[in-house]
Structure formats: structure tokens, C-alpha cells
Amino acid sequence: MMRFKAAALCAVLLGALSSGGCAAVGVTMASAAGGVAMGSGVEHTMSGITYKTFTASLSDLRLATLDSLQRMDIGVEGDAQTEEGWMLSATARDRLIEIELESLTGNTTRMRVVANKGQIFFKDAATATEIILQTVQSLDEQRAALAAEAAARAKRAPSGKQATVTKGKRT
């Protein structure tokens, strides 16, 4: 199996290198071969906008996003509720970052990230992707903390009565 993966990677890289006149094809093929976001559910548009849908409530995802921006040392400039959810704006060096959180259901939220670099036509998809990946990590950390707290509470609970965590709420 490992031999097949190595052969496939070599074929993709050979294809990328042999497309000499078309740098876009070569870069796309090489990115697809080793892309960080591949398989992580992160979607990209041709215009540099990055999306991901999470199985998380709007409030949980907002807190995870704010935690991620703080960890990345990205300054939050705006945090406003909208008709569909929340709109966050932030800055990092010469980038203006817009994050839209749209509640699809009570436990499903779509995240849209645009990192404008300088002028409006230049997007930084790598930064947008990293914000999403860091938010995934923050959400996982929040859930692990809730599970650990529920387990500790269950140990302290009188026998026959167990503490539970339902949809991120402690009982």
C-alpha cells in the first residue's frame, strides 16, 4: 500500500513538473498531492474564499473562532450578531480578515473566511485555511474539556446518578 502511495505521489509530481508552460496547472497538481486541507472538509473557491461546515452550535463555534484568533495573535476588530449568525472582522499585518458564521441548524454552523491581502482582489487562502484548522482544534479542545469535566463530575456523583453533557450543556 505504501508503495502505491509513493508511486502515485511521484506520478503527480512528475505531471506537475512536466507541465512547464502552465505554472497554474503545476502548482495545482503539486498542492493536491500534499495539500494540508485535503480531507479536512475545508472548501475553497476560485476567488480565495474558504468554507467549512461544523457540527457545532453557533455560540460554540464563535467562542472557538475567537479562541483561535487569540492563539494566532490576530486582532479582532469587530464582533457583531447578524440576521444569519455572527460576523467577525480581524487584522493581521496587511490582511483584513472577514469571518462569517451562519447557523444552519441548532447544531450545524457554516464558517466562511476571507483574508484580503492589501487590495480586494488579492486573497490569502492559506491564512483563511489556517484560521479554520485552528478553529477545528479549539472546538476539539472545548469538547475534550467538557468531557473531562463530565467524567470528573460522574466520579463525584452519588452512585446510581451520573452527570451528563448534552449538546455542550452540562447537567
- State pLDDT tens for residues 15-27: 544 445 444 444 4
Domain around 7: 1-34
| CATH code for position 134 | 3.30.160.110
Distance, in Å, from the CA atom of 7 to the CA atom of 115, rounded to the nearest integer, reads 35
The answer to whether residues 1 and 73 belong to one domain is no
Residues 6+ apart with CB under 8 A from 77: 89, 90, 91
The answer to whether residues 92 and 71 belong to one domain is yes
The answer to whether residues 115 and 158 belong to one domain is yes
- State pLDDT tens for residues 53-84: 999 999 999 999 999 999 999 999 999 999 99
Distance, in Å, from the CA atom of 60 to the CA atom of 56, rounded to the nearest integer, reads 6
The answer to whether residues 20 and 70 belong to one domain is no
